[in-house]
Amino acid sequence: MKNPLDSRRDFIKKAAIGTAAFSLGGVLPAFSAKSYRNIVGANERVRVAMMGVNARGLALATNFSAQSNCEVVYVCDVDGRAAAKCVERVERNQNRKPNTEPDIRKLLERSDFDALVVAAPDHWHAPAAILASKAGKHVYLEKPASHNPHEGELVVAAQKKYGNVIQMGNQRRSWPNVVQAINELHGGIIGKPYFAKTWYTNNRASIGVGKQTAVPEWLDYELWQGPAPRRPFQDNVIHYNWHWFWHWGTGEALNNGTHMVDIARWGLQVDYPTKVTSAGGRYRYQDDWETPDTQVISLEFGDAGTITWEGRSCAPNPIEGSSVGVMFYGEKGALQIDGGNSYKVFDLKNKLLKEVKNDVTIDARNLTNPSQALDAIHIQNFFDGIKSGSKLNADILSGHISTLLVQLGNIAQRTGGMLDIDPSNGHILNNREARKLWSREYEKGWKPTI
């Protein structure tokens, strides 16, 4: 039986053959996209549906709809206000109004789009990606790849089974100067790297103590909960604060740590660890916030080296002059990548040997859209994977492994602080309590399967 993706993929490939390659300036937002849109034929565009458009999803919808070789044809959100705002923004960008469908299950029954962009809350990431894969859609999946490790393995298995393209939103894998920094690292600019220190700092306010109230008229709370077991509506969870509740979110470690730990893993060329430890807690405020506001995760990779992540949600003082970043230490010096498209190289005496600066403005603490122009390169890499089978810069297996590292840190944090890990597959050894957090319970009828 022919794969359901084959016909559409073949059509897009044929349409792309005659298309002139875009220069970098032609894919960056702001970006003269409308003039390009008049040149590029509609049949050469990747047709996209956006799922979850309140914050980061709105930024992504803005970026996708600004690409001349893309059309956003559907907006899917359980918040009617967010959907309306996104429709207006997208229509302004592409001169065509997308349709709306709040139920992802009904949306995926439609055959008139090619790819789903998932930017819903974390508990929806893997289930939505799996449903889309089964429906023959490609997927752009915001980090983290999953809410828990088992889901991450399911997404990887789904991609292998259905043969679709799944790009994870680790967009720094496509930023030119970050790629150059990693290439220099692998080329030996600081000798053999063996330790990567990563961090994120912010000054987040208290979320207070919530009250159970009636569900707002603009929200389909049943669909928002989706795969998660049902809980009463609470007025300090939606939007954004769900990040700090284990039931739906994954804390700062996966919210921001995933990006930096991914760069560290990329730089050290490691996959699964041998040992994971974590220390921290919720210290700054007494409120409903469950995940740590202060956390230090250590990931050991045998003789290959160590990665640490320091997360401070409520203490904004920078590290190495930056609110977010990665520092690699090696035999001959150190290499620093901060939150932007830049890097520095130091010798063992801390003398600055080389500096490659940002050429695009980055706001690392912007919660939704810190780097629109650079992220467009990542989007185009996703499109190239769909159109011509080009290698993805952040394929789902790589994304799952990086997500798993910080998930293991959270599991260690919640079960005593230390885990032994099988370095062949990342599974937890000899710890029954920790293994209980490898998966989760699901609402009846919502358990993801491939």
Count of H helices and E strands in the chain? 14, 16
Residue 363 has pLDDT above 70, yes or no: no
Instruction: Give the residue with greater pLDDT, 42 vs 197.
Output: 197
Residue 29 has pLDDT above 60, yes or no: no
Domain 6-173+376-396 class in CATH: alpha beta
DSSP alpha helix (H) spans, 317-427: 372-388, 396-414
pLDDT confidence tier of residue 27, bands split at 50, 70 and 90: very low
Q: Do the domains at 6-173+376-396 and 175-210+218-365+397-438 have one common CATH topology?
A: no
Give the number of other CB atoms < 10 A from CB of residue 30. 9
- The pLDDT, as a whole number, for residue 39 is 39
Whole-number mean pLDDT of the chain? 91
Residue 367 has pLDDT above 50, yes or no: no
Residue 170 has pLDDT above 60, yes or no: yes
- The pLDDT, as a whole number, for residue 359 is 74
CA 126 to each of CA 321, 407, 409: distance values in angstroms, whole numbers, following the listed order: 35, 14, 19
State which amino acid sits at residue 203.
Answer: N
Give dist(CA 390, CA 280) in Å, integer: 41
pLDDT confidence tier of residue 266, bands split at 50, 70 and 90: very high
- The pLDDT, as a whole number, for residue 362 is 59
The residue whose two tokens read 């220390």 is 279
Poorest-pLDDT segment among 41-50, 335-344, 394-403, 417-426: 41-50
pLDDT confidence tier of residue 226, bands split at 50, 70 and 90: very high
Give dist(CA 76, CA 118) in Å, integer: 10
- The pLDDT, as a whole number, for residue 417 is 84
Residue 397 has pLDDT above 90, yes or no: yes
Residue 208 has pLDDT above 70, yes or no: yes
- Residue 124 tokens, joined: 């929806």
Residue 72 has pLDDT above 80, yes or no: yes
- Closest of 139, 219, 122 to residue 440, by C-alpha: 122
- The pLDDT, as a whole number, for residue 372 is 80
Give dist(CA 41, CA 19) in Å, integer: 9
Does the CA dihedral 437-441-446-450 come out positive or negative? Answer: positive
- Which residues touch 20 (CB under 8 Å, ≥6 apart)? none
Residue 28 has pLDDT above 50, yes or no: no
Task: Give domain limits for the chain.
Answer: 6-173+376-396, 175-210+218-365+397-438
| Each residue's pLDDT tens digit, 96-125 | 999 999 999 999 999 999 999 999 999 999
- The pLDDT, as a whole number, for residue 369 is 52
- Residue 289 tokens, joined: 């916030």
DSSP alpha helix (H) spans, 95-168: 104-107, 122-134, 149-162
As a whole number, mean pLDDT of residues 187-215 equals 98
CA 354 to each of CA 175, 193, 326, 381, 428: distance values in angstroms, whole numbers, following the listed order: 18, 17, 16, 28, 41
- Closest of 436, 421, 403, 200 to residue 295, by C-alpha: 200
Give dist(CA 151, CA 127) in Å, integer: 8
Tell me if 210 sits within 8 A of 237, measured CB to CB: yes
Quote the pTM value.
Answer: 0.89
Q: Phi/psi of residue 195, each to 5°?
A: -145, 130
Tell me if 76 sits within 8 A of 49, measured CB to CB: yes
CA distance from start to end of the chain: 17
Q: What is the CATH number of domain 175-210+218-365+397-438?
A: 3.30.360.10
Residue 22 has pLDDT above 60, yes or no: no
Residue 235 has pLDDT above 60, yes or no: yes
